[in-house]
Structure 1
Amino acid sequence: MLTLFLILLPIAAGLITFLVGDRLAKQVALIGGLAELALAASVWSQFDPSAGIQFSFRYNWLASGSISFAGGIDGISMLLVLLTTFLTPLIILSAFGNNYKNTASFYALILFMEAALIGVFTATDAFLFYLFFEAALIPVYFLAAVWGGENRLKVTFKFFIYTIFGSLFMFVALVYLYYQTPGAHSSEIRALYGLQLSPLSQGFVFWAFFIAFAIKMPLFPFHTWQPDTYTESPTPATMLLSGIMLKMGVYGLIRLLLPIVPEALGSWGIVAVILSVIGIIYGSIIAIQQSDMKRLIAYSSFAHVGLMAAGVFSSSANGLQGALIQMLAHGINVVGLFFIIDIIYARTKTRYLDQLGGISQSASHLSVYFMILLLGSVALPLTNGFVGEFLLLSSVFHYDHWLGAIAGLTIILGSVYMLRLFQKSMFGPKSKWVEGFQDLTLKERAVLLPLIIMVFWIGIYPNTFLKLTEPAVNQLLTLVK
């Protein structure tokens, strides 16, 4: 039942936030987000990584079709529940410095999206997974369309069409798999793992799932919606998209694609890895050329997710463990970086590197926080990004030496665009845009400090999280091999 409470609590908090009105909305939303985090921490304290799925619930949804409203938590789910519940209150708090119209609706949508994300990561019924997968799209669509930049309607429409189009492929594949289950049919995800499908059927399911999840992450060449959406969305929505929502796609690869169609993975996995590696290099090169700080981080995120996907498709323990720990690290780093860019924009009214410079002269604390998050993003040893990136590159190299060597260029390219970002904005002579720049406020430090703690926690003692997911990963790999 605790899993069900994790889904219902942010829905209830979102409704209360909407009903209390604009004056108290942000405070109520923050309380709701912190209550969800406390509940997740309680679940973690009771969780046994070696015991499989725990805290399950099941209710008849469509009884005649044996489709249930069912969920539970294993180690993989637990990690992503912790990421979601940790980042959401920080995202809510980060928005306190901005005055959004219809405040109650804005914060309620964040909480509704949190509920949908938790639903995706804990669903044990395939159609319930699909329901939450689609439900997560609705709040972020309105956040971007109502509170985004001047091109928001065009950009969010493209985002909506892309993701709906991809999800239809997944829905068709799930319906097909449902009718392949014996007897009265079942949509339980674990019931789909044991299906004996023909090579042609496996190929169809592989590409249907791949397109759906590749769009959501996104992977090359399904990424064209991402930079514009990240740039035009309000920063809290961008944080949700990059910090948590893209993880739904990687999670879908791990939870559905790998164990359901392992034979197709042997046939088509190399194509998926090649596309992922192309995305790593392409995203990094484009990031180097960006002047808009927000757009630069958007392409950086695109490159990082390419490496995660390549690790997943290597179908190795290092690849899956690396992808999971990198999802955690990337979520922390990218939320922090987008928040720092929002702080700079709020004080200077620009995000362009050629208009900035010299910020470190009047904002030493901001400079330190910025540098730590940046070093985590470029995978400096003893920071959170190093563990996942090392495991991922190792897995891709063992899968194919040449692809591993090419993917390894992400270390050099990532350092180039990230250090360029820091140098252009923080060093050099002060530009007219940064005159009177103020250092971090107490609220801004309250958002950044937990992120910094996690950068070092994951980097110095990664076993906290690797041991959490290891039994679930090993069990899943028995279905793939």
Structure 2
Amino acid sequence: MEILLLQIFIPLIAAIIMLIAGKSARGLASILSLIPLLVTAYLYVNFIPDSSIQFLIDLAWIPQFGINFKAGVDGISMVLLILTNLLIPIIILASFKHDIKNQNAFYSLIFFMQSGLLLVFTALDGFLFYVGWEIALIPIYFICALWGGENRIRVNLKFFIYTIAGSLIMLLAIIYLHLQTPDNSYDLGEFYKLNLDATTQGWIFWAFFLAFAIKMPVFPFHTWQPDTYTEAPTAGTMLLSGIMLKMGIYGVIRWLIPVAPLGFHDWGLTALILSIIGVVYASIIAFTQNDIKRLIAYSSIAHVGLISAGVFAWNLQGLQGAMIQMFNHGINVVGMFFIADIIIRRMNTRDLNQLGGIAKPAPKLAIAFLIIVLGTVALPLTNGFIGEFLLLMGIYNYNIYFSALAGLTIILGAVYMLRMYQRVMLGVTNERTIGFTDVDGTEKSILLVISVLIIVMGVYPQPILHISEAAITNLLEQVNQKILVK
């Protein structure tokens, strides 16, 4: 029991330590970030890949209101714990080249957000889930508002309004479900047992879907994303794209569809269509971008749209594809934004028209960039391939025409990503890029780790697939049984 409490609260303790740390904030943050990863390694080694909830915590928190601190880990949670605690040290290390004012507060907010993310991915109580959801939102708001670009205040306000509006609608649904349980409980298991009519489940579906769709984001709830990703500091962009958007996908799998299966039966097709529209729309918009960060942002919308479509196809292939692609997308998108950060710091521009020929003075960067691009476009034997293959198979099993449209993400993605690589790395060096220096020190270490993960997960994805399969299969059977009973 204690080990999961440690997993959730160590980042919170680290956040407090960072506030009182001295000038050694960076070094201390990098060391503290490894402790949750070590705890996750312990959880992984002792995890039995079946459908049960393990490392369970169930403590009375506010008993008079039916609120418990109930959390646990199954195969779905485990994948996201690994992703979160693997990326946080990389994100902290990636910030070392930046001159960050008030480092203590910056790293404290990252750890505070990490604690909220871990709470979301393990909570088995509706109120606790909501608390984690909001805890994860508050730090990223301040990270973007205090360390972002010139337009950060306007952009961040839009992001905050979108997310808080979705969160409040979700809270109403959670309170309603709580009032329908026999003992006025927030327990997720009790929510699963509710036998609500299809109309009620329909509005519950939309209440949850709005919150999750904004977070992912899914078309047409995506408009906050490109501006926020562009204006946020690199660490903020990595946190948003690498980990935070997975909260939305996880919420659909764990909370939305199992809690409102009849609502999903009636409205799942609509959600799937919106997801596929996002794939095509974002891919087309990415073609027109000359800003490297905005191009990667739209690429992320397209890839997340495919993951969302795979989830709403609701079969084993689609869900397993979503699980492994959540993991792989996190690695790839953090790698992409780190490459962009290296280029922007050296060239002081995000404009692709002003770049070119960087591969000649920076061959190490060119190799790492190519590996990350190939993983992003799902080349076989890179990590993106198995996830996108399973997602498209899942959508194909749902509807062949939808799979053809969703498959455009691979074709279009390959075109705009390779075109971006060509514009940045190939061709003749100009007066701006001729003096470009190759990666060194921490940059080289980060790119090496990301490149190795892309190749290893492409060659041998079984560890992630094996962890989540039993939990996914169990959830599928539960939901499908409820839909069939109707």
TM over 0.5: same fold?
yes
For 1:44, the equivalent position in structure 2 comes to 44
1:88 alignment partner in structure 2: 88
- Which residue of structure 1 lines up, in the alignment, with residue 136 of structure 2? 136
Aligned residues: 479
Q: Give the match's secondary structure for 2:92.
A: helix
Deviation at 1:232, TM superposition (A): 0.0
Q: For residue 252 of structure 1, what is the aligned residue in structure 2?
A: 251
Aligned to 1:169: 169
Q: Which residue pairs with 2:383 in the alignment?
A: 384
SS across alignment from 2:150: coil
1:336 corresponds in structure 2 to 335
456-465 or 249-258, larger mean C-alpha shift:
456-465
Q: Say which SS state the counterpart of residue 433 (structure 1) adopts.
A: coil
Q: Identical aligned pairs, as a percentage?
A: 53
Deviation at 1:431, TM superposition (A): 1.9
Q: Deviations over 1:67-122 (max 9, x none)?
A: 10111111110100000000000000000001111111111111111111111001
CA distance in 2, matches of 1:450, 1:335: 12
- 1:71-470 equivalences in 2 (<5 Å): 71-182=71-182, 184-470=183-469
SS of residue paired to 1:97: coil
Is residue 377–residue 417 contact of structure 2 (8 Å, CA) maintained in 1? Answer: yes
Could you say what secondary structure the match of 2:96 adopts? Answer: helix
Contact 2:51 2:474 in 1 (8 A): no
CA contact (8 A) 2:126 2:188 kept: yes
Q: Using the TM superposition, give the Cα deviation of residue 353 of structure 1 relative to its aligned residue in structure 2, in angstroms.
A: 0.6
Amino acid at match of 1:257: L
> Matches of 1:105 and 1:67 in 2, distance apart?
31
Q: Which residue of 1 aligns with 2:31?
A: 31
Separation of aligned partners in 2, 1:90 and 1:162 = 28
1:51 Cα shift?
Answer: 5.5
SS in 2 for 1:57: strand
Counterpart CA distance in 2 for 1:460 and 1:371 is 17
**Offset, 1:179:** 1.1
Matched position secondary structure for 2:95: helix
SS in 2 for 1:55: strand
Do the aligned partners of 2:51 and 2:471 also contact (CA within 8 Å) in 1?
A: no
Q: 1:318 & 1:97 partners in 2: Cα distance?
A: 41
Matching residue's letter, 1:142: F
Whole-Å separation in 2 of the counterparts to 1:51 and 1:313: 21
Superposition deviation, residue 65 in structure 1? 2.1
User: Displacement of 1:435 after TM fit?
Assistant: 2.6
**How much does 1:14 deviate?**
1.4
SS at match of 2:432: helix
Q: Which amino acid aligns with 1:323?
A: A
Find the residue that maps to 1:413 and give its secondary structure: helix
Which 10-residue stretch deviates more, 10-19 or 151-160? 10-19
- TM-superposed deviation, 1:344: 0.6
Partners of 2:172 and 2:360 lie apart in 1 by: 57
Gaps of 5+ in 2: 481-486
Task: For 1:474 and 1:190, locate their aligned partners in 2 and report how far apart those are by CA, in whole Å.
Answer: 17
Distance 1:435 1:339 in 2: 21
| 3-state SS, counterpart of residue 29 of structure 1 | helix
Q: Is 1:58 aligned to residue 58 of structure 2?
A: yes
- 1:222-262 C-alpha deviation (Å, 9 max, x unpaired): 00000000000000000000000000000000001111111
Alignment partners' CA distance in 1, 2:367 and 2:381: 16
TM-score w.r.t. the length of structure 1 is 0.99
In the alignment, is the contact (CA less than 8 A) between 1:320 and 1:473 conserved in 2? yes
- Is this contact kept in 2: 1:14–1:29, CA < 8 A? no
Letter in 2 for 1:310: A
Following TM superposition, by how much is the alpha carbon of 1:38 offset from its aligned partner in structure 2, in angstroms?
1.0
TM-score by length of 2: 0.98
Superposed CA deviations along residues 278-308 of structure 1, whole A, max 9, x for unmatched, are 0000000001110000000000000111011
Q: Deviations over 1:140-169 (max 9, x none)?
A: 000000000000000000000000000111
Larger deviation, residues 209-218 vs 398-407: 398-407
Q: Distance in 1 between matches of 2:120 and 2:367?
A: 35
Structure 1 residues 89 and 166: CA distance shift in structure 2, 3 A: same
Partner secondary structure for residue 71 of structure 1: strand
Corresponding residue for 1:11?
12
Give SS of 2:473's match. Answer: helix
Q: Which residue of 1 aligns with 2:483?
A: none
Distance 2:113 2:432 in 1: 35
Residue 270 of structure 1, CA deviation: 0.7
CA distance, structure 1, for counterparts of residue 316 and residue 169 of structure 2:
28
Residues in 1 aligned to 2:123 and 2:447: alpha-carbon distance in whole angstroms? 31
Deviation sequence 1:427-480 (CA, Å, 0-9, x none): 111122213111111210111111111111211111111000001101111111
Aligned partners of 2:317 and 2:394 also within 8 Å: yes
Within 1, Cα distance between the matches of 2:438 and 2:149? 26
Equivalents in 1 of 2:402, 2:57: separation in Å? 42
Taking the aligned partners of 2:121 and 2:456, their CA distance within structure 1 comes to 23
DSSP 3-state at the match of 1:257: helix
Is the 2:76–2:472 Cα contact (8 Å) retained in structure 1?
Answer: yes
Residue deviations 1:386-444 (CA, integer Å, cap 9, x gap): 01100111111111111111111111100011001100000111122213111111210
CA distance in 1, matches of 2:157, 2:4: 33
Q: What is the alpha-carbon distance in structure 2 between the residues aligned to residue 185 and residue 105 of structure 1?
A: 39
CA deviation map 1:187-237 (0-9, x unaligned): 111111111011110101011111110000000000000000000000000
Residue 337 of structure 1: CA displacement?
0.7
3-state SS of 2:50 partner: helix
Q: Does the 8 Å contact 1:216/1:248 carry over to 2?
A: yes
In structure 1, distance between residues paired with 2:64 and 2:155: 41
Judge conservation of contact 1:16–1:28 (CA < 8 Å) in 2. Answer: no
Q: Distance in 1 between matches of 2:457 and 2:368?
A: 16
